[in-house]
Amino acid sequence: MTEKHINSQSSINHASNIQILLFRGVFIFLAVLTASPITAQESGQQALSNIELEYTYSDGGAVVLKIGEGILGYRWIAGPSAGYGVSDRRYQSRKIAAGVYLVNWHDSENSDYVNLVIDLNEMVVHGSALAAYDSETPFAFFDIAKIARVNKVQE
């Protein structure tokens, strides 16, 4: 092979490598450009907004949970905590399957951290909480509740 032929082949390989790198760069740029953060709809926030659930745990404790736009409130209507409620807790939520949502909130005022899996298909709520964690008697809560009703509400 002549030196001219070797240089020509080397130039072709170099050009090919540049094209591949350029293609990869454009692909990554487009992927980043078209990728969008999780929207409220995908996270479940919007899908859960403006609903009210009433559910009863296996021990008889019953709750009315009202989920608004980024704020939720709840009221215990039966059981040992009957009468207690709050109306101004910020929450996070995520749709984890069709009709199934993970919701959590931190109630720093009462030292509670609550997680709910709300399954509207099976009409159940799976509840888990670390309650009164900053007190002399903290406790863990882990139970399942049957949803009695789900209503759309006006804000």
DSSP string for residues in 96-115: EETTEEEEEEEETTTTEEEE
Of 20 and 149, more confident? 149
Give residue 122's pLDDT.
98
CB 123 within 8 A of CB 58: no
> Residue 37 gets which letter from DSSP?
P
Residue spans of the domains in the chain: they are 1-35, 40-152
**Which own/partner pairs from 97-102 qualify as long-range (CB within 8 Å, at least 24 positions apart)?**
101/44, 101/47, 101/48, 102/44
Average pLDDT of every residue of the chain: 81
Give residue 36's pLDDT.
37
Give residue 31's pLDDT.
38
> 119 pLDDT exceeds 80?
yes
Find tokens 């409620």 and name the residue: 85
> 25 pLDDT exceeds 60?
no
> 89 pLDDT exceeds 90?
yes
Which of 103, 35, 97 is CA-nearest to residue 70? 103
* Fold adopted by 40-152: Lipocalin (2.40.128)
